[in-house]
Amino acid sequence: MTQKDIRPDLGLRPIVNVSGTMTSLGASIVVPEAVAAVSAILPQFVEIGDLQKKASRVIARLCGTEAGFVTASCSAGITLAVAGAMTGCDLAAVERLPDTTGLKNEVLLMTGHMVSYGAPVEQGIRLAGAKVVPVGQATSAYGYQLNGAINERTAAAVYVISHHTVQYGLIPLKEFVEICHARGVPVIVDAASEYDLKGFLATGADIALYSSHKFLGGLTAGIVAGNTELVRATYMQNMGIGRGMKVGKEGILGTIAALDAWEKRDHAGIRERETRYLELWEQTLSGRPGVTPIREADPTNNPLDRLKVAIEPKGAHITAWDLADALASGRTPIIVRDHEVEHGYFYLDPCNLHPGQEAIVAERLVEELENARQSNEIIATPLETRRNRSYQAIMRWPD
Ligand SMILES: *Cc1c(COP(=O)(O)O)cnc(C)c1O
């Protein structure tokens, strides 16, 4: 870190993030190009429509499509794109939302895609006034079910690309698009965390949505990309329900700068650096009783691996979740990726580290594993207790 760490002055814990690009942890390390662009524009007035036109050209270039704009978040993008599919460029209808009287208002979503990224995907759809029509069952969906769900009220279909969704048994995007397009239904792809800026649109999606603040290292914002007609109708929602999802000049320019930087980034070099981190952690952990480190590819094929740390409590004298909690406490809290921890493992994600933090992660792993080994009993908090604790913490806010 070149700059002073201001977190202690703010009374905030100096966490090290091996969890991923999480909104709850401050998303990502904003790239220097975005930081510079944002501080240069903040004191100036700009014509936002013109700045969004510039964003459109940059988004179109990077996403291999016609147009785009920046909104508050990918989540906002879901709501706005659904709204755009319902209203088209009818400004009176834009102002009437979320009242959808007289409009097509049904939106198809596979049941296996009804996930939460911190808020429910389907709520983002309903927020526009649309009605969600589930397609298929939790772990299966077929073309005939999608086709059978389309009717004269169908406004759009939403498709989610994410590790959160069910990863098998569902309709592949290509087939999904073919069925929807054969019936004149536009397809909106939520690709918030996906590095592939072109592939989903190239497969036929009408709109692809990305987060600016995840892998791109932009400001907190969302990117809407796609064909001009639907992007324009989506952009118009800024005069309606999109107002509460407003992005300022800093978010728009921060996104443009992050996209420009992404185009020039040394992706291979970054991958190499991340691989070195994984190797260090693997060496640190292998041979320790009850600990099995396994390198694993990203579930949605983003070009990144994580280290899966499987914990066998009898050998390690601690459960995976108690180890995660121990790492997250103390003077240097390490926040691991623990969304599947009830299976007895967590992940270390190498994407969000400042140089040198990989060594801190290794030291803290050793420290907490050795502490646990010295315990005569196996440290094993019941899972329900841990779940209740996080629920109670939410309910206690701001205390
Ligand atoms: C993060 C995420 C979102 C939300 O993105 P924001 O830009 O933070 O609103 C939506 N969908 C998926 C699949 C995500 O991973």
Q: Which residues pair with 70 in a beta bridge?
A: 223
Q: Give residue 235 CA to ligand 1 midpoint distance, Å.
A: 19
192 CA to middle of ligand 1, Å? 5
pLDDT of residue 3: 76
Contacts (Cβ under 8 Å, ≥6 apart) of 234: 69, 77, 80, 81, 83, 84, 207, 224
- 9, amino acid identity: D
Q: Is residue 194 lining ligand 1, measured as CB closer than 6 Å? A: no
Q: Is the CB of 162 under 6 A from ligand 1?
A: yes
Strand spans (E) along the chain: 16-18, 67-71, 106-110, 131-135, 154-160, 187-190, 207-211, 222-226, 291-297, 305-311, 334-336, 345-348
Specify the amino acid at residue 195: Y
Q: Mapping DSSP to helix (H, G, I), strand (E, B) and coil, where does residue 219 land? A: coil
| 19, 74, 82: residue to mutate for ligand 1 pocket, most atoms within 8 A of CB | 74
Residue with structure tokens 């942890």? 25
Predicted confidence at residue 1, as pLDDT, reads 46
Low-confidence ranges of the chain (pLDDT < 50): 1
Task: Give the chain's length.
Answer: 399
| Measured torsion, CA atoms of residues 95, 71, 209, 191, in degrees rounded to the nearest 10 | -130
DSSP class of residue 352?
T
| Cα–Cα distance measured from residue 254 to residue 275, given in angstroms and rounded to the nearest whole number | 28
Measured CA to CA, the distance from residue 215 to residue 210 in angstroms comes to 10
Please work out whether the CB of residue 368 comes within 6 Å of at least one atom of ligand 1: no
359: its two tokens: 């060594």
pTM beyond 0.85: the answer is: yes
In this predicted structure, what is the pLDDT of residue 2? 61
